[in-house]
Amino acid sequence: MTDTKERIAIYPGSFDPLTNGHLDVIKRAQDIFDKVVVAVLHNPSKTGLFTVNERVSMIEDSLNGNPQIEVDTFDGLLVEYARIKKAVAVIRGMRAISDFESEFQMALMNRKLNKDVQSVFLMTGLRWIFTSSSIIKEAAQFGGDISDMVPEPVKIKLMEKFPLLNC
Ligand code: PNS
Ligand 1 nearest-atom number relative to CA 109? 21
The model carries a pTM of 0.95
In whole angstroms, how far apart are CA 41 and each of 38, 67, 129?
A: 10, 21, 23
CB of residue 13 inside a 6 A radius of ligand 1: yes
φ, ψ at 122 (rounded to 5°) = -115, 135
Assign domain 8-129 one CATH number from 3.40.50.10800, 1.20.1070.10, 3.40.50.620, 2.60.110.10: 3.40.50.620
Q: What is the mean pLDDT of residues 27-47?
A: 95
Mutate to test the pocket of ligand 1, among 14, 59, 78, 117 (most ligand atoms within 8 A of CB): 78
| Model pLDDT for residues 51-92, shown as the tens digit of each residue | 999 999 999 999 988 899 999 999 999 999 999 999 999 999
Q: What is the pLDDT of residue 1?
A: 53
Query: Residues 61, 103, 98, 129: is their CA dihedral positive or negative?
Result: negative
35, 133, 137, 157: the active-site residue: 133
Considering the chain, what percentage of its residues have pLDDT values greater than 90?
A: 85
Residue 5 — pLDDT band, cuts 50, 70, 90? confident
Q: What is the mean pLDDT of residues 121-130?
A: 92
Strands across the sheet containing 35-41? 69-74, 35-41, 8-13, 89-94, 118-123
Q: What is the mean pLDDT of residues 107-131?
A: 95
Across the chain, mean pLDDT equals: 94
Ligand 1 nearest-atom number relative to CA 77? 18
CB of residue 77 inside a 6 A radius of ligand 1: yes
Q: What is the mean pLDDT of residues 105-131?
A: 95
Question: For residue 129, is pLDDT > 80?
Answer: yes
CB of residue 41 inside a 6 A radius of ligand 1: yes
Question: For residue 154, is pLDDT > 80?
Answer: yes
Residue 45 — pLDDT band, cuts 50, 70, 90? confident
CB atoms inside a 10 Å sphere around CB 48: 17
